[in-house]
């Protein structure tokens, strides 16, 4: 009985610390030899695999990483399956390595192909596949591996719902991101979706912060207002324009459990900010 209690306590401690890993049964790829002799990487040893890049993954609540290689002669296809705490953080790390110039394909919630690289995310998983071979049959095999892996992994093939809140006018396609920590360099600003906009010569960014309760959203907004001091102008309906010493002019508004920030607009462009804020908060 004591042994069972100790075993249960050990398992619970692994789960609570994020050390509990799930096994990945990598699919078979015809004609290729599958090798899975890599260790399972966790937050404690991720640096051993991706060195300095580990910090970025850890900032998005990384849980574990499984790696495999498929070999056929001198041709190698490598697959890395990163698991994060939820689908939003998985999208977040995926979005930091995505470019709108890539060729997007129907893989998981979203994926792309670029010169022997296939990356996609689905549910809590961010998958990276790459080969240095230029042979057409190897590239096709890599795409087949990506498709099989996407079907194998659990989770929804859905983009985060917060992205749907962004107005479409002027939004740059496939440039939405999710920032898990220190938005605009402020430690009190966390968990925000970002979209970049371009209208004529104007370029600006919109940040959406969703929180559990209206009280938490208000507290975050008030903290930001306090940090910027008295250099703020009340627009008359609970919306503010403030001067951030590091980020310039910021337009801020909140309603219920959502806060909106807009950066990159000049003081005399309050009408542009108001237009977008109104559409988001309506």
| Stretch 181-203: mean pLDDT | 96
Do 157 and 122 touch, CB atoms closer than 8 A? yes
Domains within the chain, CATH numbers bracketed? 17-152 (no CATH), 161-281 (3.40.1000.20)
3-state SS of 227-265 is HCCCCEEECCCCCEEEEECCCEEEEEEEECCEEEEEECC
Q: What pLDDT shows up at residue 183?
A: 97
Across the chain, mean pLDDT equals 90
Q: What pLDDT shows up at residue 233?
A: 52
Cα(129)–Cα(120) distance, integer angstroms: 9
Q: What is the pLDDT of residues 213-266, one digit of tens each?
A: 999 999 999 999 988 874 445 555 578 999 998 899 999 999 999 999 999 999
Q: What pLDDT shows up at residue 22?
A: 58
Percent of the chain scoring above 70 in pLDDT: 89
pTM of the model: 0.87
Do 151 and 80 touch, CB atoms closer than 8 A? no
| Stretch 92-105: mean pLDDT | 95
The closest alpha carbon to 214, from 254, 257, 253, 252, belongs to 257
Q: What is the pLDDT of residues 145-157, one digit of tens each?
A: 999 999 999 999 9
Q: What pLDDT shows up at residue 263?
A: 98
Using pLDDT thresholds of 50, 70 and 90, give the confidence band for residue 23. Answer: confident
Q: Which residues pair with 71 in a beta bridge?
A: 33, 76
Enumerate residues 6+ apart whose C-beta is below 8 A from 5.
none
- Count of other CB atoms within 10 angstroms of residue 252: 24
Burial string for 119-146 (b: 16+ CB within 10 Å, else e) reads bbbbbbbbbbbbbebeeeebbebbeebb
Q: What pLDDT shows up at residue 228?
A: 87
Burial string for 58-94 (b: 16+ CB within 10 Å, else e) reads ebbbbbbbbbbbbebeebbbbbbbbbbeebbbbbbbb
Using pLDDT thresholds of 50, 70 and 90, give the confidence band for residue 178. Answer: very high
Q: What pLDDT shows up at residue 113?
A: 96
Do 141 and 107 touch, CB atoms closer than 8 A? no
Cα(84)–Cα(61) distance, integer angstroms: 6
User: For residue 21, is pLDDT > 70?
Assistant: no
Q: What pLDDT shows up at residue 120?
A: 98
Q: What pLDDT shows up at residue 2?
A: 52
Cα(70)–Cα(49) distance, integer angstroms: 18
Using pLDDT thresholds of 50, 70 and 90, give the confidence band for residue 282. Answer: confident
| Stretch 92-106: mean pLDDT | 95
């Amino acid at each position: 009985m004591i042994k069972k209690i100790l075993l249960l306590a050990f398992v619970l401690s692994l789960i609570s610390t994020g050390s509990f890993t799930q096994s990945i049964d990598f699919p078979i790829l015809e004609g290729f030899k599958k090798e899975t002799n890599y260790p399972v990487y966790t937050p404690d040893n991720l640096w051993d695999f991706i060195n300095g890049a580990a910090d970025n993954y850890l900032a998005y609540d990384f849980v574990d990483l499984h790696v495999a290689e498929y070999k056929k002669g001198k041709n190698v296809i490598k697959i890395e399956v990163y698991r994060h705490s939820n689908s939003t953080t998985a999208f977040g790390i995926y979005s930091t390595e995505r470019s709108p110039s890539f060729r997007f394909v129907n893989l998981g919630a979203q994926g792309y192909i670029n010169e022997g690289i296939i990356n996609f995310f689905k549910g809590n998983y961010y998958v990276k596949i790459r080969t240095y071979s230029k042979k057409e049959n190897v590239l096709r095999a890599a795409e087949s591996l990506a498709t099989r892996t996407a079907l194998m992994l659990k989770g929804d093939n859905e983009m985060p719902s917060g992205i749907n809140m962004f107005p479409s006018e002027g939004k740059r396609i496939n440039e939405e991101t999710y920032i898990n920590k220190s938005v605009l360099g402020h430690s009190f600003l966390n968990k925000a979706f970002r979209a970049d906009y371009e209208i004529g010569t104007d370029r600006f960014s919109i940040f959406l912060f969703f929180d559990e309760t209206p009280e938490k959203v208000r507290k975050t907004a008030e903290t930001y207002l306090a940090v910027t001091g008295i250099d703020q102008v009340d627009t008359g309906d609970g919306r503010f324009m403030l001067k951030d010493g590091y980020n310039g002019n910021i337009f801020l508004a909140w309603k219920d459990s959502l806060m909106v920030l807009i950066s990159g607009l000049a003081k005399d462009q309050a009408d542009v900010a108001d237009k977008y804020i109104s559409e988001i908060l309506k």
